[in-house]
Structures are given as structure tokens and as C-alpha cells.
Structure 1
Amino acid sequence: MAAQILVIEDDPVQRRILTGMIERLGHIAHVAENGRAGLDVLLRRGARIDVILLDLMMPEMDGHAVLAALAERNITTPAIVQTGQGGIETVVLAMQAGAFDFVVKPVSPERLAVAIGNALKQSGRPVRGSTSRRSRGDVVRFEDVVSASEAMIRVLDLAKRAAQSSIPVVLEGESGVGKEMVARAIQSGSDRSGKPFITVNCGAIPANLVESILFGHEKGAFTGATEKHAGKFVEADGGTLFLDEIGDLPLAVQVKLLRAVQQGEIETVGARLPQKVDVRLISATNKDLITEVREGRFREDLYYRLNVFPIAIPALRRRKEDIPLLVRNFVEIFSSEQRLAKTRTISHGAMALLTAYDWPGNIRELESAIYRAVVMAEHSELDVTDFPQLAVTLPDGLAHGVIPHLSSEPLRSEGSTGAPSFYAGLSHARPAQSEPPLSPSERRAMRSVETVTDSAIPSIDAGGNVRKLAEVEEELIRFALKFYRGQMSQVARKLGIGRSTLYRKLKDYGIDPDDPFSEAA
């Protein structure tokens, strides 16, 4: 049955694009050109709207005001908000206000399909082609990998292509990002599905035992070898061998691994003849292998043999769109495992807290935090108090679920005047021993926050009179150009005008986009 999706978007082009995407998914789209009109549709249609797709930046009544109005009227329809930049403060504000999920403009059809599908599951509507949540088991299909971000959709697209052959794959990424899960999905999606999937953590094996564990040994091959041992390659024969932390493999063993990859045969310790094996090799590393090659810790010939199809899996802090989905998935799994009478829910404040945190331990750390909360919680709804280890690392307002919300003013850009930025507070959210680097956009935002208070635009002139609108507008445009480093699409979007209008105003005021503080000719 087709779902009813309400699109609240002030840009007519975006409305047409989103309507087309929704209709191609088999749903029915209803449109509203601003927040006030969207509320009218909701009040008129009531429960017949299944999902709301809400733009945050709109004139008259912005997305935050709409979310506040929905909460005030007890309208529980899941709202997916659209943010133009995906800045952490904007996202946290939206989640705190009750947003179910968020997408970053321009949203792809794949990302929109995931968001709508998850929202429909939340509202209890059946979803075409939907699958049940998996418990933590060995068999992982691609549809079991919980993902919502564009980055992870690309990762899974690459992994599906890799599954169509036996090409060697290297999965790159920090510890805890889900490399083994992607490897298992590749195995399940390949013609080796149902065959052995053997994992080896190369960094956890003593150096003097690596060769024996990988390739096996004959009885009496060395002191203590009282029995014959087949080895992991033989165990994985016909299936897949997953070598985790491949960068920690000793150089002496790398020579034998190269032969196994090149010729499909292994040399068992103590055996006189090599043994043929049919193994699909998937490797994983949290190191930069090319750097390891340059510094002589990894063989260059082995690197090029293994790194035929590299897939980089981004850290969780780089794909915060996945956090709400992962949180709900873990809550559901752990509620079931604990045999609770009712699956726990999670408050808007707690979801904002979890979205704001940077998760240096990635998905593994998030999973652990949710497990602890589900087991220890005293109430059916998880709140910020159920995550004390996170709440103490964030600003007091956020930790107590009270995020400064400019409900009576238009939404301000990330780090802008009038609302405290969370970037400074979030810098303390990461344990010092595992401090992840800030992204370029975060560094730019932090620099902007430091200087923005000195760039406030006065509304009164020296004589005590209200300044002319044109003067204030010119200064605001100059400020926006500097604040967003001359990114014209971003400037136009944040100012709430079209690009053509922005260029016309630049010409009218004699503003050079490359030098916004130059004097008019």
C-alpha cells in the first residue's frame, strides 16, 4: 500500500525533484510551500500523512518552528528534516526538537528511500521489500547492514560489486567502523555464500605462531607440535578468509602469503610439498598501508596483490546520519535479548546527545553504550541520564536535554551570532587518548565561531537612527561571503535567496565575490 508523504519545501525546483523521487518509490506526495501551509495540510489530513519531509530553512515559518508546532499539537508523524550543510549544531537542534531522521541536501534517491523506509517502520506501516532486523549472528546480508548516510550507501554499492567476483578486497577504516560486517556481507552476496568464512586477527597472534596458524603444521614440525594442524587457509578452502589488521602481519609471513595469493597454494610448516587451496581473500586494516610500504614494514608486491579493490569505510563521526538508525536498531536488538516485555524507546534529548557525540570508538563504542543503557535503565524510555559517560563530556545544556532553541527567531547558521556553538564543547567530548582529527568543515566552523562575535552587524547608525535596509543587506551579504568562504550556493541558501538573485545583488552593490570587503567601484 502506498504511503502518504508530505513535502514541506519552499523551493519549487526541490519540491518537484522530491515529488518525483517519492512517486518513483511508489508513494503519494503532498506538497506545501512553507511551514504554515504544511501544518494546515497536517491538520486537515490528520493521521492520513505517514511521513513528513521537512526543509529547515524556510521563510515565514522555518523547520524548527514546524517541529515545535508538531510537538505542541502532539502530532507524532515521523519527520525527516533536510539540512543544507549537515552541521552538528543544526542536526542536534533538529533531533532535540523531535526529528526522526535527517538528510543532507542534495539528497540522493537511495538515501531518501532509506530514510522514508525507516520512518514507515517507525510508524508501523509495511514497507515494500523490507526485512526484519537481524540479531547479532554470523550470517550478514547487505540488507542487514544498518546504513543511512550517502557515504555508507557508496560503500555498500562497492561491496556489492566486489561480491560478484573473487577479486581480493582491502577494507580500510578505523577500529570499530564495521569492517568485518561488510566482509561477511560480501561473502553472503557472492557465489561462496554458505561456504566457510574464517577470520584471523593478525595483530592478536604472537609473531612466532602466525605462520603455523595461517598455513598449518605437520606433527613434529617443531617443538610442541604434537598434533597436525590444518591452518586457517585450509579451513577456509572453498570459502572466504578474512585477515583483520593485515598491516600487523610479520614480514617473514608476508612472503608466504604472497605465494598463496599469486599461485593459490600454501606451504604447510614441516610439509614437503605445497598444498592447493581455493580461498577468497578479504583483508582489513586501520593503517595506511602505502605508508607502511614506504617505511619498509609491508611488502610492496604483496600490497599491490591485495589492494586490487580497496573500500574505505568512514568513521561514525563522518556519517552522523547513521547514528539514529543504529541507535534504534541496537535498542531493538538488546531489548529482545534481555527479554523485556516492551521494546525500550529513546527520548529526543537522548537521541540528540548520541548524535552530538563523536564516538572515537565508532560503532563498537555506540553498541556498548546502548547495551549498557538498555540493561541498566529504570524506565522504558532511555533518557540522557542513562548515558552518564557521555552526558558529562558535553555542554551542560545539552547534557540535561535543554538545547538552546531560537523558537522565536529564524534558524541561525552553524556557529552564528546569538546561539552558543557546540563545537567548542564537543571538542571535550572525545577522550584525550583517542582524539580523532576534526574535519576541514569543523575546523572552518570553529574558526568562524571564534571571530563571529566581532562581526555583528549594527542596526542603529551613529545618530541613533535605524539604518537603511540596503546598507544592512549589503553588509550581511559581505559577511555571508566571508563566513562561507565564497561558496555561492551555500551563501544563497543561508540567505534564503536564489543564486541568480545573489549575483544580481552582488552586481548592484559592486561586491567582488573573491573580495567581499572591497569597496564598490
Structure 2
Amino acid sequence: MVRPLDDSTGNEETRSVSKRILIVDDDPVQRRLLKAAAEKAGYEVELANEGRSALARLVEPDHELAAVVLDLMMPEMGGLEVLERLSAVGSTIPVVVQTGQGGIETVVKAMRAGAFDFVVKPVSPERLTLALGNALKAARITSSQIPSPRHVGFNGIVAASPAMERVISLGKRAAASTIPVVLEGESGVGKEMIAHAIQSESIRRNKPFVTVNCGAIPENLVESILFGHEKGAFTGATERHAGKFTEADGGTLFLDEVGELPLEIQVKLLRAVQMGEIETVGSRMPRKVDIRLISATNKDLIEEVKAGRFREDLYYRLNVFPIHVPALRKRKEDIPQLVRHFTERFAGAIGGKRIRSIAPDAMALLTAHDWPGNIRELENAIHRAIVLCDGETLTADLFPQIAAQIPGYKLDGLEAGDETQAVSLQAPQGPGLAQREEAAHADPTADPVLAEPSFPVDTGMPAVNAVTPEGEVRRLAEVEEELIRFALSFYRGQMSEVARRLGIGRSTLYRKLKDYAINPDDPDQEAA
């Protein structure tokens, strides 16, 4: 779910964001090249040679990293797994992925997993600088957001569908009691926001709200993090740690992905729920705690119980008041409202940024997508589009990672020699993202997207007429000339795309342009 807008957006000049980035690549030569290019552009650089150490650095609470350059193909833990784990813990750090193999499918997977941008090896310093600059804009937006949603009630939840109205109704009933609640639903549907709303409309609204992502905690540390430990309780315990239950005493404890808890920890959790007391590691006496417990899971806990991975007695203790939060694809009525909400929020976070509208084709594209990453994926897509948008309208070409999965849209293939080394969306709405980013790099004030297409997407009749007014078949040369003019206008003079779509080589295309006296900059002119 989402939070209401904050009217005070601030001034971009008064905000600061770290220029420290993390470069993750198992190739030492690539690391050196990327480090040199980034430092020349003014960035502070940290290096990691594999995914596990990079992930450990990125989940640190105060890492002060503004962006990541992440290689997708690495041994043991690859870039895709790092992205998925960052998404699971709710990380908002923008990630620029780089790939030298795997093709467009790998890139699309990375974008779906939450990547902000991508580059192809060997990346030019100019392309890397452009990608990092956009990533820092994204980091600046994130740092300017409302710091805490914990006082936002159900009125702050953006929803229009009957399914979400039922969720809100159940949530309000749950808020009126201290009954244990389980929020069920896929990752990214907004379970934590529902938990915050329940807390904010309950009698514990001014008490602590403590979140624990059970799936992100190393198994050997789960007990200590949940229940705390005494000084000297184990090797490395140099000081006493209170634990999340103690931190939440008097308030609400939100256990996200509770189905990931190890079985031995589930026993202690059951005692805490039943008896209202916890056993701190290394302590001889149990401690009483007063908490409101809200759990969340993206798993079917009944199936987990049948498989022996979740205790049946704990299931019945937690699942007193279940609330199922439906996936975004099952409540598409919410998508337009969420799109407008995120657009206003992210645009307002950049001083002087004015996004006045969303193009109908862009809204249709976003509504057609099934959003496997749910609201989190939608939020990230809008976030990225706002950073890259130079005009006043969000257009479909700003969502290449979404368009790649919708029939009727196409992404250009990736070639290492491509100057822009970026995804290029080829659709009637206008120039692709690659051309847009290239133009923006050359002229930041340029806005090549806002021009209307020369031909409608669907005219309801053939674009080129093969029959004369007298009912005779037209000469082949006449039809060919008209088709070339149409293709030039339709693809806005992008010669490679025109040649590819017509099934001819570029040299053949240029020869035919000369034969038919067609000016590629003005294909609609009369033949000489």
C-alpha cells in the first residue's frame, strides 16, 4: 500500500545524498576500469568481488551507499539473486546491473527484480556516468520521502477496488481489538502498510511499532535478534542486546515472512504468544512482555504445516484473524490511482519537477501488466520513469521493462558495440529509451517524447493501399515508395529499425531513398 502525500516537498538544492557507490564484479580488470571511470566522475567507490559480501554490505542499516553497479554473471551468488534478496528486505538503493552475456531475457529478469538501469560490457565511461547520475537522482527522491508511515491510518491507503475495500474493513475491525492478525499475500502487496494502519488506529497508536523481516535474518542470529541476549552469552556477545520483543513492549511487533522462522525458534515464539514472556539468551529468568502481534506471510501456512515446516500449534495461535491482501493483478481498478499517487509523490520530491499528465498509452500499458512484484514493482517503475522524464508527460517509452512483457511491444537486441548500451523500446508512441537517454545526455533540456506520432497506432484500415481508385492493382514501385515513406514516418527516421522492419539492408534502404528522391528527414514530401 502507499502513504498519503506530504505537502512539503522541500528544495532539491537543500538536500544532499551520498556519492559513495558499490561496484560488484568478480573480474578484477572490470573492477579497476569501473572504479577509474566512477572516480573520474566524482564518486567515492567501494569494491566487492562477489555477491555474498556485497549483499552483507548492502543490508547494513547505515551503509551510506547511494547506488550499486552490479555484475549479473558471478559464481556462487549472481547478480539476480542479490537483487531478489535486496527486494525481499525492502531495499530502495538503486542498482545498475551490467551484463556481457545472457541477452535481453536476462536484462528483463533483472529489471523485474528491481534493477534501476543496466549497461552492457564493456561500458563506456559516458554511459556509466549517465546511469549513475540517474541513479543518484533516484536516491535523492528516496531520501526525501516521508520518513515513517507508522501514524498513517486506513484513510491514507490508496485503493478503489472492492477487494481492497474488504481488506480495509477487516483491518479496521482488527484495530479495535488486540487479536493476533496474520496478513496473507504475495510479496509487495502492501502487508506492512496494512499492519501500520492497524497499529495507528488502535489504542497502541503512540507505542512502539517494531518490524522484523524473518526471512532476512541469518538462522544463527534469529533467536538473539528476536529475544535478545546477555553480555557473554556466546562468543562475540560483548554487550547486552535487548531484542525485538523487548523493543516492542507495550506496542506492536510485526513479524514479516513469519513462515521463514526455523522450527526451533517457532517453539520459543509459541511460548511468547501463549505466556506473554520471553527467554533472553544467557538469562536464567524469563521476562514478561506486552505486545500486539501482527504476522505476515507470502506462503500458504496450511501447506507449510502439512509439510512439517511450520508448527501446527503455532499456526492456530497466530492465525486467529487472517486478512488476505490480494495481488495487484486481481485488483486492477487500483492501478490508475496508484500510478497517479506515485507520480505526484516522486515528481513532488524533486524541486521544480512538474509531471502534469500520464499519456493514455502509458496508463494502458501499466494497467495491462500483471505486476508479479505487485505494488513494490509498480512503485519502482514509476520512480524510475520520473527520474528519466524530461517533459511534463509520462509516456510509454519510459517503461521498457514493462513493455518487454506486453504483446505488441519490442525491445531492441543488445549489442556490445551499441553506443547507448540501453534498452530501447520500439513502439508507435515515440523514440525509445536508448535514444531518449542519449539525447538527454547531449542536451538535458531536450524532450523528444512529447511529439505526437505521425500515424495513429490503429487506423482500422491498411496503411498502404494496394489498389488504384479505378480498381486496378498499383505498380510495385509505387507501393514500395509509399511503404518506405510510411515506415520512415512511423519509426521516426530510425534507419536501422526501418530497414529491419522492411526486411532489407541499410545500404539497400539508402539506395531506394535515392531512387525515390525521399528525404529521410521529411518522408511525407512529394517525390521530386
Q: What are the residue-to-residue correspondences of 1:195-274 with 2, within 5 Å? A: 195-274=207-286
Counterpart CA distance in 1 for 2:222 and 2:228 is 9
Q: TM-score, normalised by structure 2?
A: 0.50
Secondary structure, in 3 states, of the residue corresponding to 2:323?
A: strand
Give the drift of 1:406.
Answer: 7.5
Offset at residue 394 of structure 1 (A): 1.8
Cα offset, 1:342, TM superposition: 2.4
Is 1:276 aligned to 2:265, yes or no?
A: no
The gaps in structure 2 that reach 5 residues or longer are: 1-144, 411-426, 430-455, 462-528
CA–CA distance in structure 1, aligned partners of residues 190 and 269 of structure 2: 24
Q: Is the 8 A contact 2:355 2:391 kept in 1?
A: no
SS at match of 2:290: coil
Which of 316, 340, 344 is 2:328 aligned to?
A: 316
Q: Is the 8 Å Cα contact of residues 391 and 400 (structure 1) preserved in structure 2?
A: no
Question: What corresponds to 1:363 in structure 2?
Answer: 375
Task: Give the counterpart letter for 1:327 in structure 2.
Answer: V
| 1:290 paired residue number | 302
Query: Is the partner of 2:372 in helix, strand or coil?
Result: coil
Pairwise CA distance, 1:350: 0.5
Q: Distance in 1 between matches of 2:273 and 2:352?
A: 48
1:390 aligned residue: 402
- Distance in structure 1 (CA, Å) of the matches to 2:248 and 2:148: 19
Q: What is residue 177 of structure 1 aligned with on the other side?
A: 189
- CA separation of 1:406 and 1:179: change in aligned 2, threshold 3 A: farther
Distance 2:309 2:457 in 1: 48
- Is residue 335–residue 344 contact of structure 1 (8 Å, CA) maintained in 2? no
| Cα distance, 1:135–1:324 mapped onto 2, change above 3 Å | farther
Residue of structure 1 equivalent to 2:148? 137
- 2:164 alignment partner, one of 143, 152, 160: 152
Please say if residues 355 and 393 of structure 2, whose CA atoms lie closer than 8 Å, have aligned partners that are also in contact.
no
2:349 counterpart residue number: 337
Q: For residue 318 of structure 2, what is the amino acid of its counterpart? A: L
1:305 corresponding residue in structure 2:
317
In structure 2, the partner of 1:19 is none
Shift of 1:285: 0.3
- With 337-346 and 327-336 compared, the bigger mean Cα shift is at 337-346
**Contact 1:344–1:374 at 8 Å: present in 2 too?**
no
**Which shifted more, 341-350 or 157-166?**
341-350
Write out aligned runs for 1:93-104 (5 A): none
Amino acid at match of 2:218: P
Are the aligned partners of 1:331 and 1:344 in contact in 2 as well (CA < 8 Å)? no
User: Any runs of at least 4 consecutive aligned residues in structure 1 with deviations exceeding 6 A, and if so which?
Assistant: none
Q: Is the 8 A contact 1:331 1:345 kept in 2?
A: no
Answer yes or no: is the 8 Å Cα contact 2:181–2:319 preserved in 1: yes
TM (norm. structure 1) is 0.51
1:339 shift after superposition = 1.9
Structure 1 residues 370 and 214, CA, compared in 2 at 3 Å: closer, same or farther?
Answer: same
Aligned-residue offset at 1:137: 2.9
Alignment match, 2:206:
194
| Cα pair distance change 1:165/1:403, threshold 3 Å | farther
1:60-139 equivalences in 2 (<5 Å):
135=146, 137-139=148-150
CA distance in 1, matches of 2:177, 2:154: 16
- Residue identity in the other structure for 1:145: I
CA 198–263 in structure 1, closer or farther in 2 if over 3 Å, else same: same
Distance 1:312 1:136 in 2: 27
Percent identity (aligned): 68
Distance 2:218 2:259 in 1: 14
1:307-344 alpha-carbon deviations (Å, 9 max, x no partner): 00000000000000000000000000001111234244
SS for the counterpart of 1:395 is coil
1:138 Cα deviation after fit: 2.5
TM superposition shift of 1:378 = 1.8
Amino acid corresponding to residue 284 of structure 2 in structure 1: R
SS of match in other structure, 1:242 = strand
CA separation of 1:289 and 1:326: change in aligned 2, threshold 3 A: same
Distance 1:361 1:405 in 2: 35
Cα distance in structure 2, aligned partners of 1:392 and 1:222: 51
Give, in whole Å, the separation in 2 of the partners of 1:236 and 1:208.
22
SS at match of 1:241: strand
**Structure 1 unmatched ranges of 5 or more:** 1-133, 408-521
Contact 2:355 2:394 in 1 (8 A): no
